[in-house]
Structure 1
Amino acid sequence: MEVSFAEDHILFLRYDFPGATVHPTGTLTARQIRDANWILSPPEIRTTLGETLFVPHAQQAQLEQFCLRNGIAGKQRLDIWSDLLEPFLDTEFGPEHVQATDKRLRQAGLSGEEVAGIRRRVTPLMHAYNFDSMLWEWVDLSLYDLLSAATGPLVDPGIQAALGDPSAFYNWAMEIAERRR
């Protein structure tokens, strides 16, 4: 991922997620941005179309300055994908924690059946990403991790291909991300 900030737009010089409006390259104007969270790692931009785009962590301060200069709101929100991908962490959670996660997912409008279906679809991908690759993430897996697993070098291309069309998978992930509180 490679990004360059201008006065009123962001140039995505290399964006690795097929299906993204800025893949493999593209421009995003300040008017196309709903809000941003420069505190996250990697920082996120939410577009007016409901897409989440990422910038490199090293450019956190540049994103913050860009947003302040252009009147773009900084907004922190929970990542619904972090809750959905929690079972794929190298961590065990107690029943109270699992119930709290389930409650947040229900509050975001996801039924237990839908959560189970989503997790079933991404199980081979996320197991390969976090366990088979020996990444062993134990704190948080997010939308960025999901997209990295679907397109990056840590997962066998056969597992990635089983997800179907990369652009369709990306759009599906974004639709779910948009449901966060």
Structure 2
Amino acid sequence: MDEDHISFLGYEFRGASVHPRGKVTPARIRDADWTAIVPEIRTVLGETLFVPRERKSDLEAFCRRHGIERVARPDVWEDLLEPFLDTRIAPDQESATLDRLRDAGFAAHEVSAIRRRLTPLMLAYNFDAMVWAWAYLGLFDLLHAANAPVVDPGLQADLGEPAAFYAWAMAIADRHR
């Protein structure tokens, strides 16, 4: 991280404003969360950019230096991707998840459509690629699955044009502020 911008080198998520290389200035940053599972920046346009964990203290220092607020927000993708975890989801837990999604503005038919669209990708990612995540899958995992070499490129291609898929995922993530 430089004094006046954050550089991204080799950013792996196709469609990102910083893919494969780019920078973000403080004026483009809405907020950040350096304490998140994977530290993140939220741009004023609603894009979530992820920062390597080993740079979390650098991200915190950068944000403090530029007066960028730390905002911890729920990852709506955690609830949307819950069925793809390597664990049994109890009915009361599933009901609570659907309640949170409803409260975030997601109708039941939309949740079903999102999950149906992502089923082949997320099953391939978490089970076929042997990730075996059992506690958490979120936006970072979804983007990783859509770009990782461990997932069949045909399944990734079925998602559509990478920039359009990325924009769709970001728009969903930004709905729950």
Q: Give the TM-score normalised by the residue count of structure 1.
A: 0.96
The within-5 A match list for 1:8-157 is 8-157=4-153
State the Cα RMSD in Å.
0.8
Query: Aligned partner of 1:68: which letter?
Result: R
Q: Which amino acid aligns with 2:50?
A: F
Cα drift, residue 41 of structure 1: 2.4
Distance 1:21 1:134 in 2: 30
Instruction: Considering fraction of residues, name the structure with more strand.
Output: 1
Give secondary structure in 2 for the equivalent of 1:12. strand
| Runs of 5+ consecutive residues of structure 1 not aligned to the other structure | none
Counterpart Cα distance in 2 of 1:177 and 1:14: 23
**AA at the equivalent of 2:8:** F
Q: Using the alignment, how far apart are the partners of 2:108 and 2:160 within structure 1?
A: 24
- Taking the aligned partners of 2:100 and 2:149, their CA distance within structure 1 comes to 32
In structure 2, list runs of 5 or more residues that go unmatched.
none
Partner of residue 158, structure 1: 154
How far, CA to CA, are the matches of 2:88 and 2:55 in structure 1? Answer: 33
Deviation at 1:100? 1.0
Which amino acid is 2:92 matched to? E
d(CA) in 2 for partners of 1:152, 1:123: 16
Residue identity matched to 1:129: Y
State the aligned residue count: 177
Q: Normalising by the residue count of structure 2, what TM-score does the alignment of the two structures yield?
A: 0.98
Q: Which residue identity is paired with 1:76?
A: A
% identical aligned pairs:
59
Structure 1 position 39, deviation (Å):
0.8
